[in-house]
A and B are shown apart, each in its own frame.
Chain A
Amino acid sequence: MIRAGRLADTLIGLVPIALILLAWQAVHSAGLAPPALLPSPAAVFTRLAQQLGSPAYLEHAAATLYRLFAGFGLALAVGVALGVAATGSRAVGAVTGPIVRVLAPVPKIALYPAFILTLGFDDASKIAAVFVDAVFPILIATRQGTAVVEPKLAWSARAAGVSPARCLVTVVLPAALPSVLTGARIGLVISCIVVFLAEMITSTDGLGHLLVRAARNFQTVDMFVPLITISLLGLTLNAAFNALRARLLRGFPEES
């Protein structure tokens, strides 16, 4: 029954996507929009398939992925470390708390020009942009998750002679893992988005740059391709992340 329900749900979910594609095709076939403004879906997906097999395109994708993972990796390391430290030490909590409250609602993409000025036009400024945007959800989720860990879990470890610092790493952090991973997933999607935007604003390579280059040359088909690529990339990363999450959290009670 549940299986059948799932299948039905998946089919229902495909309807709007199919409708959009159909409408797109219809507008194109009816000649309502010139191909220069709206190319046919067939043209776009043929081009996408072609590009995904082209080494030059994949090199651009690789540049994007490198920046994405460098920035996200840094954000993960710093966000988790600071979040745990803020729970473990009253002093760290007192300093990071208000700073996070001030910086979290600031539109951090606006810092990108500052990174260009201080770190240059290359990878470093884009990695920094990804980092500052991804670090906050991870830090906040880690802080909140570790703060609400059942104290008796930590007591059980402390009674076994484990030092407070060790307890923080071996008990409090793993116990907060569901929350940490929620933050990390938000951070990952943000990383996807920011790296693309940074490449659109200034870059000489990467998927975002390809979109801007196509826009400058009025190659409409080539504008769609990087956008679909980043969406596919996001879906893939999300699926991979969910698989990893299921594995890491296999001992935890299921959540809805």
Chain B
Amino acid sequence: MIAIDAVSKEFETKGGRRHLAIDDIGLAVADGEFVSILGPSGCGKSTLLYIVGGFVPPSRGSVTVGGKPVTGPGPDRGPVFQEFALFPWKTVLGNVMYGLQQQGVGRTQARERARALLAMVHLEGYESFYPKELSGGMKQRVAIARTLAYRPSILLMDEPFGALDAHTRTRLQNDLTEIWERDRKTVLFVTHSVEEAVFLSDRVVVMTRSPGRIKEIVTIDLPRPRDRVTLLLERRYQDHVVAIERMMDAQE
């Protein structure tokens, strides 16, 4: 369970002025819940995710995970970034094995688990490739496998499909739902796509433009397992998408 309590973040800009990126965010995410944070670019939604990850300290407020305050990154919270952030000097297999080996898992065991994960993200046969030889979608699959390898109970996904083309994006969304519906990790998912947020989430947090505040939290009461085609025809899905689109338009 993630508890975000009155978190604000200020940055110092070049001219020495202070910029309030996010203001007074309070949010509780239950175990096994899939929550999306939706907002226009520059609303600080990624910053909020980095604060939960422990990569960036908040200026005010606090975050606790499972009752313990967040003071830095930890293997209970696995990030997936829009930029993939794969290690270019390691092969696909090496990337996925890295976290396990650093945690002291033996070589053979780490390799076995890495292979299984790569199979799960449909990348069998690419183990000895370097990241630069893969397409964007494949890179993101590797990054997801790398994070899942050390079994975090929470996934922090920072616009993970934002750099991908529309087709690849849909396929990865389908795969992610499938993976998530199987083992129900807690997911905090940052995106600026309304359809993506509604399709994937249990709840959608809509944020305001700078400074980022929570505007509204929408519960997505669609049944699971979700199937894209059925959902697209479903009235309730359409209503959610339209309602949230209106909410965001109203900020302009």
Contacts and interface: CB of A to CB of B under 8 A. Distances in A.
Nearest to B102: A162
Interface in B43-93: 50, 53, 55, 72-75, 77-79, 81, 83, 85, 87-91
A158 B99 contact: no
Contact of A158 (B55, B83, B132): B55
B98 to A, nearest CB: 7
Given A156-B79, A157-B102, A160-B103, A174 B89 contact: yes
Interface string A149-170: 0111101111111100010001
A172 to B, nearest CB: 11
B243 to A, nearest CB: 33
Interface in B4-60: 50, 53, 55
Interface in B115-147: 130-132, 143, 146-147
B150 interface: yes
A157 B98 contact: yes
Contacts of A177: 89
B162 interface: no
Contact of B102 (A151, A155, A160, A253): A160
- Interface size bucket, B side? 20 to 34
Contact of B99 (A161, A175, A252, A253): A161
A170 B81 contact: no
Most chain B CB neighbours (cut-off 10 Å) among A150, A151, A159, A161: A159
Given A251-B130, A251-B132, A252-B132, A170 B53 contact: no
Interface string B96-107: 001100110000
Interface of B: 50, 53, 55, 72-75, 77-79, 81, 83, 85, 87-91, 98-99, 102-103, 130-132, 143, 146-147, 149-150, 152
16 contacts: A150-B85, A155-B53, A155-B73, A155-B79, A155-B85, A156-B79, A156-B87, A157-B98, A159-B73, A159-B74, A159-B77, A159-B78, A160-B149, A161-B102, A175-B87, A251-B132
